[in-house]
Structure 1
């Protein structure tokens, strides 16, 4: 319960033109015990049970003020009100010549303090009782004490009215406390309501761009799919947008610039799909951010399916307009995948999946491209889904196998080692080329269990060859994917495979592409250094295809570069490529690295590579990839193998 203010001394005002009356009233109130015979008056006024005889509580803490005319009394009451130190009871004489009489004085006092309790003291009056009643009305704040008065009667009246005045004040204080508590409660309710609204909004809207998020978009998509099931001619479309090269902005200019770029792109997308700017004639279009640099637009109520392509191109043009952030001139570009929904069945998940498939095709076409999901893409999507499902089962059931392509020392023809190449023969005994299933494994995350399987199987194969007496110099190269390198347990997994199969330093080389190294440079560099300390060596795969700086060769622990096959495709006639290869050979040797040429298919290419000083070669000219049980026969008759470097 709210604490009430401390009780103040009770203030009594005596208004009478006779000073003797003032003293009589003070004596009556200060020296009188309450008479139980008169206590019924208190009960009558306050509605409380009669109490047993007791000392006068009013006299215990009271202050007396005197006024000899009504005008003086009014000033005293006004000052008490202003000071918030009010009188509880006023004894007012009826006749106080030459000033106001008692009735006028009471009327004016009540105007100044409506809660003031009055005891009217009278012996005789110029007014009848009916006149007094008519002027003052019926009030529980007024009692009449006839002169000459009995001290006990005066005390009892004062006691009753003071108790009533105290309770009125307490009630007012409690009401104020209650109103204050109600205001605090209302404020708390409002704060909680605001917090709930923010939580709800946070669950439905992207915190960075304030666009609808995936949850709200999914809800809208489900609604439009349900509506389309009832309205066969409903024209709508889903557009999946992805910024081109957004990672370059983040990595080169920082995440703050990247975030501001996303905010600007979101604003441009919203502006583009408004009713006034869109081929769609309704205001129900939705732009949402799925996360990262991915956005989705839902167009409803289009008049024609071609409208979606118009809006997609408009989005590309609008997003691609240049702007400046912190002095950096940025020209963002976006690729768009489109799904037209008219007459199609499926769920919101299907819409997003097919739009994403169309976006994948758009990305393959270059920057700022549009692709529309069609029957051909649907066929490809179904095939990809089947491959994903079959590949997952094949990994779980150990239906994959490895083949090994030799890496040959060009000067001696000796076998340096082999590259382990994963192969997949599905349950229909069809061998599926890696180019068809490895990209799907990358996209779906299956590359992690697939890569782990290759690592374990290749290490086990090297251990088996050593146990059968093959040269201890033999090594196997294993390709590493971006997701493998990013995995927190990759280094431990490699070390575990080496330890479990008893392999030594140089038995395993890990191949990483230039693109992978640039995308994962910070984390990747730490992983590579960790593995180097554990005896693992590294080769740069597809060297010469990246557009990155060569500075990574100085700070990462590589032992060899693998020249991309594209450099050999024009040999022996391509003089420019020969010059490029020679420059790469010189650069590699200057850094203490060996060079392995991939894609050697003819004797002419071999001769040129030997003349240019290339160290090793790999390709069909030497051998197609071999099954593990053919490797021993291939090695027989070859010169003794020796390690690179």
Structure 2
């Protein structure tokens, strides 16, 4: 038996024994409750069967744990412990315990009622009129029964009541007797009155009701009422016997458990369960519905620096403010529930809140959800004081309405779909800079869904061989001879259009698939290089492969490259790895540790798109880099027109051309080769030659081509001559 069960069971035993008489000795009582505490803790934590809690509730009744104060002490001890053991399952376990207890108590009460009924009324004998079979026995049972009993004539006059009923309602017998039963039935309780009328007319034999009644002291008690019709010898209705049990404690327990199940324990706000019930009800009723999904920005920083107690205080303060200032509605004199202007504020999870804005279908206000969202932002932005700390936080809000489905397609007619759209819109608000409201956009949402579906397809596509490599020539500018190729990955889904890297590479980086995809690209490019050399032994070219940031930061990247080279047989000096400046420097602004090891293997390192990223020229002298690939803007901007000017010179921007010349000169001073990207015209080629640029690539020479087309470029100049 676990320590928690032992401690909880011992505390439980002490509490219930202090509350009233228990038939079991202390040692047996403690052992029994420790065992059952273990069952409840297992159910709450998820390691046990939640249904077992119902059996514990039944056992309580069977063991005569039925005194109201005993039950109250039981719930007081068990409640917090079960919620701590399982915040999500604890309330459900308490509910199951209560259901089992209530069911067992009802069965016992029903059995007692049946015994009393059988003793009270016996069918008349064949020889005499209806009378009591044993008046003495009935009188004893009637007077001493634990439940309240009243006998009412068919005309509705109360003719007998027992002591238990008088104590239950706090009224003496002479105040109740010979009065009409209608006096004690609330005027608005139409169901009770209709049931009584049907029994008086002989149309109904038995009925059961659960109703609240006013005690003479002013408080309300809840009762479980069983009505039975007694007929005269001729079959006419004669008496109605009402057996009444006080179930106030059970009702309070059920109400408390229902509240726990539907409300967040930290903030007291409705939880996601109650929110979805209200949302689904509003949608089914056809009401105009808006959802404002709010996430507190950077609350994690508060928890990490000031502690979770402070973070919880911030959440509780924000919850109170939102409930008080957003919940009642926005506008003059708006009150919760008045005219449909009230808004339900709920806590979804963690630092997320949601506001349900609903209005009658015939009185929509399309601007109200945005007003509510902006008001919520203003509420969250106000400082929160927690002890010596003055904390300022912000929030991001996603707003979506039922009518946001494009072309009335009904995409947002279900609660789950509406909340998915709200969650997506909240993500847009955070992605766009936080501390703002984002409005749902159906087209953007569909694009996001398409991106997600595409991302989900990628692992299977890689396994199925749907990715292919094209190769773009790297050309020596002095004679336009092929010196290398850059491997470029493409996605060719069967029966569909080719998908470009600008679409799937960002998805692969977000999902982490870029690591296995990058390894496949590296391996396939090296194997293809080996095939070219085997078919054309005199050709010497290098293969250039791009490495993404996530690949470079993988701890085993050096081993991966070494393994690929060994498996393919491609020489290290003929492999060039291209990294952007930001990837090359890593997240800390320091060169990556893997670079020296890769360079020591003989692999060439090239900085791709040079001039668009980190641009710390001081590092170029110390980095193990062999080549710079100038970003396309350095090639295209100096030749914006490509037309001769008035003097007959090539049209170009003098300053940009000078910058290009200085970059090439700097690279050569540091012993680096220079490749110009996006070479598209003869003017660009000629100027780059004059500036001393080493190699180039671009559509002027050739577009990316499949591997079978590369050998045709081995024998002569590439591109126009």
TM-score (norm 2): 0.50
Count, aligned residues: 445
Instruction: Confirm or deny: 8 A CA contact 1:275 1:283 kept in the other structure.
Output: no
> Among residues 222, 237, 240, which one is paired with 2:291 in the alignment?
237
Name 2:698's counterpart in structure 1: 619
1:447-474 per-residue CA deviation (whole Å, 9 max, x = no partner) reads 3332232122112111212222355642
User: Is residue 2:354 matched to residue 1:298?
Assistant: yes
Q: CA deviation at 1:219?
A: 5.2
Comparing 576-585 with 501-510, greater Cα deviation is found at 576-585
Distance 1:418 1:313, change over 3 A: farther
**Aligned to 1:393, which of 460, 465, 489?**
460
Q: Alpha carbons of 1:520 and 1:535: their partners in 2 closer, same or farther (altered >3 Å)?
A: farther
Match of 1:629 in 2: 708
Q: Report what 1:442 is aligned to.
A: 509
Aligned to 1:527: 594
Query: Contact 2:565/2:572 (CA < 8 Å) preserved in 1?
Result: no
Residues 366 and 594 from structure 1, CA distance in 2 versus in 1: closer, same or farther, beyond 3 angstroms? Answer: farther
Q: Distance in 1 between matches of 2:355 and 2:494?
A: 43
After superposition, residues 138-537 of structure 1 pair within 5 angstroms as: 197-198=83-84, 200=86, 222-223=276-277, 226-233=280-287, 235-239=289-293, 273-276=322-325, 284-286=344-346, 296-302=352-358, 304-313=365-374, 337-341=398-402, 345=412, 350=417, 353-355=420-422, 357-358=424-425, 370-470=437-537, 473-517=540-584, 520-521=587-588, 525-537=592-604
Aligned mates of 1:331, 1:409 — CA distance in 2: 59
Please state how far the C-alpha of 1:404 moved relative to its aligned partner: 0.4
The answer on whether the counterparts of 2:470 and 2:489 sit within 8 Å (CA) in structure 1 is: yes
Residue number in structure 2 paired with 1:93: none
Structure with the larger RCO, 1 or 2 (CA within 8 Å, 6+ apart): 1
Contact between 1:585 and 1:613, CA under 8 Å: does it hold in 2? yes
Q: For the Cα contact (< 8 Å) 2:326–2:375, is it kept in 1?
A: no
Q: Return the alpha-carbon distance in structure 2 between the equivalents of residues 493 and 397 of structure 1.
A: 22
Asked if the contact 1:518–1:548 (Cα under 8 Å) also holds between the matched residues in 2, the reply is: no
CA gap of 1:578–1:259, structure 2 versus 1, over 3 A, is: farther
Deviation of residue 401 (structure 1)?
1.0
- 1:235 is displaced (CA, Å) by 2.1
Structure-2 change in CA distance of 1:614 and 1:526 (3 Å): same
Tell me the alpha carbon deviations over residues 141-188 of structure 1, each in whole angstroms, 9 at most, x when there is no partner: xxxxxxxxxxxxxxxxxxxxxxxxxxxxxxxxxxxx99xx99xx9xx9
Distance 1:558 1:377, change over 3 A: same
**Residues 486 and 520 of structure 1 are in contact (CA less than 8 Å); yes or no, is this contact kept in structure 2?**
no
Q: 1:557 aligns with which of 624, 649, 653?
A: 624
1:256–1:498 CA distance, 2 compared to 1 (3 A)? farther
Return the offset for 1:541: 2.1
**Shift of the alpha carbon at 1:238?**
4.5
CA distance in structure 2 between the aligned counterparts of 1:264 and 1:613, rounded to whole angstroms = 66
Gaps of 5+ in 2: 1-25, 39-73, 91-263, 331-335, 337-341, 360-364, 385-390, 404-409, 640-651
SS class of match (1:601)? coil
Kindly indicate whether the alpha-carbon contact (under 8 Å) linking 1:337 and 1:362 is maintained by their aligned counterparts in 2.
yes
Please give the per-residue CA displacement for 1:85-120, whole angstroms capped at 9, x wherever unaligned: xxxxxxxxxxxxxxxxxxxxxxxxxxxxxxxxxxxx
Could you say which residue in structure 2 is the equivalent of 1:81?
none
Equivalent positions of 1:570-585 (< 5 A) are 570-572=637-639, 573-585=652-664
Instruction: Note if contact 1:309-1:338 (Cα within 8 Å) is conserved in structure 2.
Output: yes
Q: Supply the distance in 2 between the matched residues of 1:571 and 1:264 (Cα, whole angstroms).
A: 59
- What's the offset of the Cα at 1:629? 0.6
Q: Which has the larger radius of gyration?
A: 1
Shift of 1:395: 1.5
Contact 1:221 1:348 in 2 (8 A): no
Alpha-carbon distance in 1 for matches of 2:540, 2:621:
27
How far off is 1:211 after superposition?
11
- Tell me the distance in 2 between the aligned counterparts of 1:556 and 1:535: 14
Q: What are the ranges of 5 or more consecutive residues in structure 1 without an aligned counterpart? A: 1-176, 205-209, 324-329, 640-645
State the match for 1:542 in structure 2: 609
Q: Is the 8 A contact 2:585 2:592 kept in 1?
A: no
* Contact 2:291/2:422 (<8 A) preserved: no
State how far apart, in whole Å, the 2-side matches of 1:497 and 1:532 are: 15
| Cα 1:235–1:355 shift into 2, 3 Å | closer
Whether 1:608 and 2:687 are equivalent positions in the alignment is yes
Q: What is the rounded CA distance, in whole Å, between the counterparts of 1:635 and 1:469 in structure 2? A: 9
Decide whether aligned partners of structure 1 residues 288 and 515 sit closer, same or farther in structure 2, where only a CA change above 3 A counts. Answer: farther
Deviation for aligned residue 1:587 = 3.9
Q: CA 1:560–1:220 in 2, change beyond 3 Å: closer, same or farther?
A: farther
- Kindly provide the CA deviation profile for residues 353-380 of structure 1, in whole angstroms up to 9, marking residues without a partner as x: 5345446656786776654233312432
CA-to-partner distance for each residue in 1:373-403, whole Å, 9 max, x for gaps?
3331243234334433544432221022110
CA distance in 1, matches of 2:398, 2:366: 14
Structure 2 distance, partners of 1:422, 1:619, is 16
**Distance in 1 between residues matched to 2:694 and 2:606, nearest whole Å:** 14
**Separation in 2 of the partners of 1:346 and 1:524?**
52
Asked whether the 8 Å contact 1:238–1:296 carries over to 2, the reply is no
Whether the aligned pair in 1 keeps the contact of 2:544 and 2:577 (CA below 8 Å) is yes
Quick check: 1:272–1:314 contact (8 Å CA) kept in 2?
Answer: no
1:288 positional shift:
6.1
Say what the alpha-carbon RMSD is for the aligned residues.
5.1
CA shift in 2, pair 1:635/1:321, >3 Å: farther
| 1:566 maps onto 2:633 in alignment | yes
Query: Residues 565-588 of structure 1, C-alpha deviation per residue, up to 9 Å, x if partnerless?
Result: 233333313334323333433443
SS in 1 for 2:444: helix
Kept after mapping to 2: 8 A contact 1:237/1:339? yes
- The answer to whether the Cα contact below 8 Å between 1:565 and 1:599 also exists between their aligned partners in 2 is yes
